[in-house]
Chain A
Amino acid sequence: MTGALEGLRVLDLSGALGNYCGKMFAELGADVILVEPPGGSPLRAEPPFAGDEPGPDNGLTFGYVNTGKRGIVLDLDTPEGAAALRELAGTADLVIESDRPGLATARGLAWADLAARNPALVMTSITPFGQTGPYAAYEADDLLLEALGGFLSLAGYPGGPPVRPAGEQAVAAGNLFGAVASMIALTSAELTGRGQHVDVSVQESVVLALENAVQFYDLEGTVRGRGSGQAARAGSGVFACADGDVYILAAGIGGNRFWPNFVAWMEAEGVAETELLQGERWNERAYVASAEAKEIFNRIFGGFVAGRTKAELYAEAQRRRVPLCPVSTAADIVVSRQLGHRDYLVEHAGFGALMPGAPYRLSATPWRTTGRAPRLGEHTDAVLREIGVTA
């Protein structure tokens, strides 16, 4: 079986801001070539490391976001290295890069330079603020981009500091929108023969994560704050149970259609004071957000879950059509019967351990992986030989 993106060649010159994008292309069948500088990608030096041993092939992040790729070394700051890249770009469909704006031009490797001999080429630049504007030249990492994109204003305990969404989600958003934008531009290039330069702003990608917060400000004049956990409104939030925590979202969702299921569950379990959860007021937005409603719900439901396990609460709530999930730990995810049934986790051959697998299942052109990242310069000779360049 072929991959959906078979026949595409992608040059991935990026690091954290683009390697996951490249991985998405690789694992749907494109020939993705990771291009690293002589000392290796800086991402190779970022913790955590397998066995806590720093080493170029031990970084879990580098190792995860570069599976399925070939790897070559080119020094793009030398005329020979830049010339080899131009040669290689003549055979490519997509270049992904994340250098500070202006650097590619200084190296003679801007889209216009590369497209001169390959007009269908798409170049996607994923940078903190995009190629234009007063912040374009500023450096920023994931924390700053979550701040400037507004995401941190929504996450945190009431009254406490903002808390950063885990797993570098600004970096993730830039990669993901970079992948979508690249596919749109490649679609256009395949249909018209004309490629283009795609300018992705990570800050703007984060802004898209703000749910309805911007519309709340625009339409109702409210600045949405940090109301996670139990405090937002009654009927939702994190509750400690016997072996961890569960998260419930039983009220205030699309017409409050699950609330009756929840109340019926509490009645069937013979939970004390269940009658307080009944009545028309539980359908009113203002009441559900009130301190009284929260106090009632938290007292009744908090007491109920305290003696029960994540697994039994999850199964029973779902049987009764109440939106409740366990707050999963890493171990829970690894032993999940649902993910296990779907063979979701797959082997990372480099680490000899499991990693997340297919984020989508395509019936005719399935996702697949080589299961490891390239060693530094592993394919330099082979790739340069393919295009008739000697290093």
Chain B
Amino acid sequence: MNVPLHGIRVIDFCWVGAGSFTTKILADHGADVIKIESEAKVDGIRLSPPFAGGRAGVNRSGYFADRNTSKRSLALDMKTPGGRELARRLVASCDVVANNFTPGTMEKFGLGWEDVHRINPRAVYLAMSMQGDSGPERDYLGYGATISALVGLHHFTALPGRPPLGTGTNYPDHVPNPAHAAFAVLAALRHRRRTGEGQYIDVAQTEPTIALLGPLIMEWTVNGRDAGPQGNDHPRRAPHGLYRCAGEDRWIAISVLRDEQWPALVRVLGLRSVPEGWGEMAVRHRDRASVDAMIAAAVGDREAPVVAEALRAAGVPAALVQNTADLVHRDPQLAVREHWVRLDHPEMGESLYNAPPFRLTGTPVRPTRSAPLLGQHTDEILREAGLTDTEIDDYRQQGVLR
């Protein structure tokens, strides 16, 4: 089997953002990820827009769908003894157990790290609560956007003199937490291959994002200076900024990396009366407000994609600030690299998904299966686990499989 994570089984209690995306990365690369979920307490992201055709429904959220490709879904009410018993049975033979609950929740199910380690000493156990399993704020709650504020991203992402802003998204959920957590799980699985030993991984959903802000934090610890709102300027280079073009909310980004690119920019934009000293990076940086004003005036009534292309053709790094319509319909790079994948879904029909942002040239993978319906694979998974149809019916009668 030429799929890199074939043979790895993940029992996945994750829900909402960061956790579900972590296990999706594993699923898209061949791991058998069984999502344990329940109608009794529906994964909040199944209830979050956008919805196929604008109509809400637990199997219609595009947000959920993109985060849960290639998984199977088992409906299990963990509040019932039968649900907990079945979960323990599945955990006994898996490779990874993952959750992103508040600390203590899995313990209530009898599936804390120590329980799982006793049932299955080879299992790698990933816990990704908001603030980790220890400390005075371990029980606090939050989402990607509140975490973003808590870890400094709101403070640093703003224009000087304006209120804290942030990325406009639940950023820690989408990149910092899932990527760090998936890396840690794969590292722990390597250790397991070599020693047979499972282990416990505690990811606080704050700490990976702070790790990405290292130099900004160190401006304080090393230099005693809060780096403050970063705005769009670069600490050394100019021009480096965003300039409004013709049309509604159209912008280009320009970033001159080396002095040799500056004359080309002057030529393409037809700048006049350019001060002589501006051939030098340090002088442009000193005068960056004037440099920016001159560029803004030159591009204000031009078409953003046309200017960006002309600059690029002249060797000046420039780009359209792309919106989602640009990304899906007009970006030639994403199209050639087949970043977008259309998958069919029993309720949603065909819709758009992300491919992984990398190509494994030796073991190529593409997401091939859309997100599961809630409980879509319940019977299949239980039969594989050795239950007879009668036993499955009994559990269903008891309200366990919902």
Are A185 and B4 closer than 8 Å at their CB atoms?
yes
Are A214 and B187 closer than 8 Å at their CB atoms?
no
Q: Report B284 CB to chain A, min CB distance, Å.
A: 15
4 tightest A-B CB contacts, nearest first: A254-B44, A196-B362, A215-B62, A204-B357
Chain B 199-224 residues near chain A, CB threshold 8 A: 199-204, 206-208, 210-223
Chain B 335-380 residues near chain A, CB threshold 8 A: 336-337, 339, 348, 351-352, 354-363
Are B214 and A156 closer than 8 Å at their CB atoms?
no
Taking each of A50, A61, A132, A152, which has the highest tally of chain B beta carbons within 10 Å of its own beta carbon?
Answer: A152
Q: Report A382 CB to chain B, min CB distance, Å.
A: 26
Are A129 and B333 closer than 8 Å at their CB atoms?
yes
Q: Which residues of B contact A52 (CB under 8 A)?
A: 223
Q: Which residues of A contact B328 (CB under 8 A)?
A: 214, 217-218
> A154 contacts which of B151, B167, B197, B220 (Cβ < 8 Å)?
B167
Q: Report A36 CB to chain B, min CB distance, Å.
A: 19
Q: Which residues of B contact A194 (CB under 8 A)?
A: 362
Q: Which of these binds chain B: A71-79, A161-169, A269-277?
A: A161-169
Interface string of B167-209 (1 = CB under 8 A from A): 1111101111001111110111111011001011111101110
Query: For the complex, is A190 an interface residue (Cβ under 8 Å from B)?
Result: yes
Query: For the complex, is A236 an interface residue (Cβ under 8 Å from B)?
Result: yes
> How many of chain B's residues have a CB under 8 angstroms from any CB in A?
152
Q: How far is the CA of A154 from the CA of B171 in the complex (A)?
A: 11
> B217 contacts which of A180, A198, A247, A330 (Cβ < 8 Å)?
A330
Query: For the complex, is B401 an interface residue (Cβ under 8 Å from A)?
Result: no
Query: For the complex, is A14 an interface residue (Cβ under 8 Å from B)?
Result: no
Q: How far is the CA of A329 from the CA of B226 in the complex (A)?
A: 7
Q: Which residues of A contact B319 (CB under 8 A)?
A: 140, 144-145, 147-148
Residue of A nearest to B8 (CB): A187
> B327 contacts which of A160, A162, A207 (Cβ < 8 Å)?
A207
Q: Which residues of A contact B279 (CB under 8 A)?
A: none
Are B186 and A141 closer than 8 Å at their CB atoms?
no
Taking each of A51, A164, A172, which has the highest tally of chain B beta carbons within 10 Å of its own beta carbon?
Answer: A164
> B216 contacts which of A47, A166, A240, A344 (Cβ < 8 Å)?
A166
Chain A 161-216 residues near chain B, CB threshold 8 A: 161-167, 169, 172-173, 176-181, 183-188, 190, 194-201, 203-205, 207-216
Query: For the complex, is B288 an interface residue (Cβ under 8 Å from A)?
Result: no
Q: Which residues of A contact B51 (CB under 8 A)?
A: 219-220
Query: For the complex, is B270 an interface residue (Cβ under 8 Å from A)?
Result: no
> B357 contacts which of A167, A177, A238 (Cβ < 8 Å)?
A177
Q: How far is the CA of A190 from the CA of B251 in the complex (A)?
A: 46
Query: For the complex, is A104 an interface residue (Cβ under 8 Å from B)?
Result: no
Query: For the complex, is B65 an interface residue (Cβ under 8 Å from A)?
Result: yes
Q: Report A216 CB to chain B, min CB distance, Å.
A: 4
Are A323 and B142 closer than 8 Å at their CB atoms?
yes
Q: Which residues of A contact B203 (CB under 8 A)?
A: 359-361
Query: For the complex, is B293 an interface residue (Cβ under 8 Å from A)?
Result: no
Query: For the complex, is B294 an interface residue (Cβ under 8 Å from A)?
Result: no
19 of the cross-chain contacts (CB-CB < 8 Å) are A143-B255, A144-B253, A151-B167, A176-B175, A180-B186, A186-B186, A187-B5, A198-B359, A209-B175, A211-B63, A214-B352, A226-B168, A238-B154, A254-B43, A328-B155, A330-B221, A334-B221, A337-B135, A339-B207
